Amino acid sequence: MASPFFANSDVSQTELRQMATRFTNKKLDPGEDLSTIGEEMEPSLYYTTSDSKDPRLELSFDNSEPIVLTPLEPFGFGKHTMTIYYLQQANPDAADRYRKKFKLSNLDTMEQIQTQFDNIIQRNFVLSQYNIKNGGPEPIYLRKLVLKDILDIIYDPSVLGKNYERAAFDDNISYETLEKKCLLGQGSFGQVWLCRDTAHDAPYALKIQYKRELIQQNQASGVVRESQVMRKMHHPFVLGLVRAQQCDRCLYMVMNLVQGGELSQQMRNEDRKVLSEPSAKFYAACILEGLSYMHRRNFIYRDLKGENVLLDKNGYCVIVDLGFAKHVPDKTFTFCGTPIYIVSFSPLIRAKRIVYSDSISVFCLLNVSLCSIGTRDSLEQGT
């Protein structure tokens, strides 16, 4: 799985391990073609195994001199189309350079690119961009992973061939150029402002934190860790980071604006004391999807509550405030979170060694949403 295609994709190590179990074997006899230019091929990834004796797998464009692929060197069908599809939207000049570098055909216009991309996703075929054949005297043994199996694991094809971190972290947006519109919130360490990017007329949230207060309260390392975690979050249900900057006095974090308010406001208000069951299921599904994304990348959240979940303009949940989030490849024994949501499990954790996790936080949040639970006594009684 050393393919550069996956290196530039938002795919976790857990998902890569699952993909490794889906490979199948294919034998290519001497002189046999694997593909010809323009042939309809199943979108897939290949590599030559070490079982092949003196393999000579030749790749060529039209009548050009063939390139001999080395053993374990990945190649496939559909990678170039998906890569150029995202490049064309983000940077047409980069897409043109990529097209010329790999001598791609039938991918000159956005219409052609869209057609080929739809063929891959909806019809499960792609037109081969090159000829591949066994040019040696011995059979070549290949390992094959089809895109259909990849999507069964990752679900979302947009994470393939797209460098999310490079795309999401925008150097063109700066706290110096953002126009402050109104104050959204203020805390012990700083402020959060609603801002406007004048160049693109786009709204952002700007979090300003004062270095002096952070250092005096021993919170500097936590803010740095939060920034590092947010840089790695690229999911619609988890708030990521657009840009982080600093000056002599302050730290600045530019984030996408989530403007639907807190989930806690929907959980209980003047009109109702609890959520309806369908609404609770919907919000729980959004939260579980966001937490699952973090867990697949070995991050735990550890501070789930209604105040830390915002609703976007379409009503979907977005998990925010990643100050307690932590990268945990194995185990962690830190006890943290908001007491009202974890207090009932404290005796169980201490006495019975039950592992506290984000899943218990979801359970507690659902109890609060559906049963109007919110005090220590009611939580411990389970009513």
Band of the pLDDT at 380, cuts 50, 70, 90? very low
Predicted pLDDT of residue 341: 60
Given a cut of 50, is residue 348 above it in pLDDT? Answer: no
One CATH from 3.30.200.20, 3.40.50.410, 3.40.140.10, 2.40.160.20 for 169-256:
3.30.200.20
The sign one gets for the Cα dihedral 130, 131, 135, 140 is positive
Give the pLDDT confidence of 84-135 residue by residue, as tens digits: 887 887 678 888 888 888 888 888 888 999 999 999 988 999 999 999 999 9
Band of the pLDDT at 173, cuts 50, 70, 90? confident
Q: Which two tokens stand for residue 173?
A: 């947006």
Q: Give the mean model confidence (pLDDT) for residues 272-295.
A: 88
Q: In angstroms, rounded to a whole number, what is the distance separating the alpha carbons of residues 134 and 21?
A: 26
Helix runs in 198-262, H state only: 211-216, 220-231
Given a cut of 70, is residue 215 above it in pLDDT? Answer: yes
Q: In angstroms, rounded to a whole number, what is the distance separating the alpha carbons of residues 11 and 20?
A: 13
One CATH from 2.60.120.10, 3.90.1150.10, 3.40.50.2000, 3.10.450.40 for 4-164:
2.60.120.10
Give the pLDDT confidence of 107-119 residue by residue, as tens digits: 888 899 999 999 9
Q: In angstroms, rounded to a whole number, what is the distance separating the alpha carbons of residues 151 and 148?
A: 5
Please check whether residue 255 is in contact with residue 249, taking contact to mean a CB–CB distance below 8 angstroms: no
Q: Give the mean model confidence (pLDDT) for residues 232-240.
A: 89
Rounded-to-5 percentages of helix, strand, coil across the chain: 40, 25, 40
Predicted pLDDT of residue 350: 46
Q: Give the mean model confidence (pLDDT) for residues 69-85.
A: 86
Q: Give the mean model confidence (pLDDT) for residues 220-241.
A: 90
Q: Which residues contact 133 (CB under 8 A, 6 or more apart)?
A: 28, 31, 32, 33, 34, 57, 58
pTM here is: 0.67
Predicted pLDDT of residue 153: 84
Catalytic residue among 248, 303, 358, 377: 303
Among 1-10, 107-116, 162-171, the range with the most confident prediction by mean pLDDT is 107-116
Q: In angstroms, rounded to a whole number, what is the distance separating the alpha carbons of residues 298 and 311?
A: 25
Band of the pLDDT at 347, cuts 50, 70, 90? very low
Please check whether residue 37 is in contact with residue 12, taking contact to mean a CB–CB distance below 8 angstroms: no
Q: In angstroms, rounded to a whole number, what is the distance separating the alpha carbons of residues 362 and 348?
A: 17
Given a cut of 90, is residue 210 above it in pLDDT? Answer: yes
- Cβ burial of 346 (10 Å; 0-12, 13-18, 19+) is middle
Record: fold of 263-381:
Transferase(Phosphotransferase); domain 1 (1.10.510)
Q: In angstroms, rounded to a whole number, what is the distance separating the alpha carbons of residues 127 and 38?
A: 5
Predicted pLDDT of residue 368: 65
Given a cut of 60, is residue 375 above it in pLDDT? Answer: no
Q: Give the mean model confidence (pLDDT) for residues 177-202.
A: 90
CB count in 10 Å sphere of residue 236? 17
Average per-residue pLDDT in the chain?
A: 83
Is 171 in a helix, a strand, or coil?
coil
Active site residue 303: yes
Given a cut of 70, is residue 381 above it in pLDDT? Answer: no
Predicted pLDDT of residue 374: 47
Q: Give the mean model confidence (pLDDT) for residues 178-199.
A: 90
Phi then psi dihedrals of residue 153, to 5 deg? -95, -45
Polymer length of the chain: 383
- Cβ burial of 205 (10 Å; 0-12, 13-18, 19+) is buried
Higher pLDDT, 157 or 246: 246
Higher pLDDT, 319 or 356: 319
**Which part of the chain has CATH 1.10.510.10?**
263-381
**Which part of the chain has CATH 3.30.200.20?**
169-256
Q: Which residue from 133, 111, 110 is spatially nearest to 39, judged by alpha carbons?
A: 133
Beta strands 57-60 and 33-35, pairing class: unpaired
**Which part of the chain has CATH 2.60.120.10?**
4-164
